[in-house]
Amino acid sequence: VEADVCRLADAPSQTRCGTPLHFYSNIDFKEEIPSVRNAGAEGVGLFRSENLFIDNTKPPQEAEQQAYYSDMAEALAPDPLVIRLFDIGGDKLIYSSIREPNPNLGWRGIRILIDVPDILDSQLLAILKANTRRNIQVLMPMISSIEEITQIRTTLERHVLALRESGTTCDMPKIGAMIEIPAAVLLIDEITKMVDFISIGTNDLTQYTLAVDRNNEIVQDLFDKFHPAIIRQLHTIITTANRNSCKVSLCGDMGSDPLALPFLLGCGLREFSIVSADIAQLKSIARYLTVDSSRQLAEACLTLDSAAKIKERLKEYQAQHV
């Protein structure tokens, strides 16, 4: 596997049976764009835009955002740039000075954007104005209800119309939802009929499903993405999205785990967004896998009732195939 890694950076990615896979990069800053290119990614699948917050507390001005997004979109075009709307609050940036007893269950992500229209409006306008190459897509963080999606979409449409009326050419960008809260998994049929794409956030999905703080060392042993409750949700999310012809990718850290790859493939996932440095290794492992054997593996994992048994099964598969 290691010998293949360098060679594969530029090769199109596919499994042993010839099924194409698509790898995109997760990035925090525009300075990472050259490494996206070098890693052989097909674009940016997750830009964590909250990194633009000034001193971790103040939202950047619309003009500043527009210039930043525009530089990125230009450098990547025609490949996609998925900008996730500011995911502030929780364990991330402290936008407000209010101290919350349970920040991860508090004012975070889409909740702040809906409550503070100035922040949402300036980000959406900056995105729409920067989208001259038409390769920007908008990703909504921390979605837990249908109403949140409707509100953001309505706001976006209103801005598109207003910009057109003022003479600016502007398209409605593709809009997607992060699936990272169990409530969104239970609504996945509806959600995948409302959006252009979904992106699975396994870091928060693990945290919120297992009620284990992703940053609390005391309970890190319990933070296990191979827990059957996660494995089964992933299968539901991916199969439902595919059935509803909604594009689905995964942008949580799980996408970088070679052990998880055949399971995800077997569920029907074909798009991954991961840190650039891991792409070559994942591409090289994919070349040992077949869709048929991965499908059997996924089905077997769905019948197992513990993370230990699931990991054992995945290791067996890896030993046989990779």
- Residues lying near ligand PEP in the complex (CB under 6 A): 48, 87, 180, 201-204, 251-252
Q: How far is the CB of 175 from ligand PEP (least distance, A)?
A: 17
* C-alpha separations of 109 from 76, 88, 182 in Å: 26, 5, 16
Residue 89's binding partner out of ligand PEP, Mg ion, none, with CB under 5 to 8 Å set by partner kind: none
Residue 144's binding partner out of Mg ion, ligand PEP, none, with CB under 5 to 8 Å set by partner kind: none
Q: How far is the CB of 87 from Mg ion (least distance, A)?
A: 6
Q: In 50-206, where do the E strands start and end? A: 81-84, 136-140, 174-179, 197-200
CA triple 267-270-272, angle to 5 deg? 110
Report the residue number, 73 or 205, with the smaller CB distance to ligand PEP: 205
Residue 252's binding partner out of ligand PEP, Mg ion, none, with CB under 5 to 8 Å set by partner kind: ligand PEP
Biggest alpha carbon distance in the chain?
61
Q: Which of residues 151-210 bind Mg ion (CB under 5 A)?
A: 180, 201, 204
Q: How far is the CB of 90 from ligand PEP (least distance, A)?
A: 8
Query: Which residue, 7, 5, 26, 174, is CA-closest to 87?
Result: 26
183-210 burial string, b = 16+ CB within 10 Å, else e? ebbebbeebbebbebbbbbbbbbbbbbb
Report the residue number, 145 or 203, with the smaller CB distance to ligand PEP: 203
* C-alpha separations of 231 from 44, 59, 79, 167, 212 in Å: 25, 36, 30, 49, 16
Distance CA 141, CA 146 (A): 13
Q: How far is the CB of 249 from ligand PEP (least distance, A)?
A: 11
Residue 32's binding partner out of ligand PEP, Mg ion, none, with CB under 5 to 8 Å set by partner kind: none
Residue 48's binding partner out of ligand PEP, Mg ion, none, with CB under 5 to 8 Å set by partner kind: ligand PEP
CA dihedral angle for residue 305, residue 311, residue 317, residue 318, rounded to 10 degrees: 170
Q: How far is the CB of 174 from ligand PEP (least distance, A)?
A: 18
Report the residue number, 201 or 266, with the smaller CB distance to ligand PEP: 201
Q: Which of residues 46-85 bind Mg ion (CB under 5 A)?
A: none
Report the residue number, 226 or 317, with the smaller CB distance to ligand PEP: 226
Q: How far is the CB of 166 from ligand PEP (least distance, A)?
A: 34
Q: How far is the CB of 92 from ligand PEP (least distance, A)?
A: 7
Cβ proximity of 236 and 286 under 8 Å: no
Residue 213's binding partner out of ligand PEP, Mg ion, none, with CB under 5 to 8 Å set by partner kind: none
Cβ proximity of 143 and 191 under 8 Å: yes
Question: Residue numbers of the site for Mg ion (CB under 5 A)?
Answer: 180, 201, 204
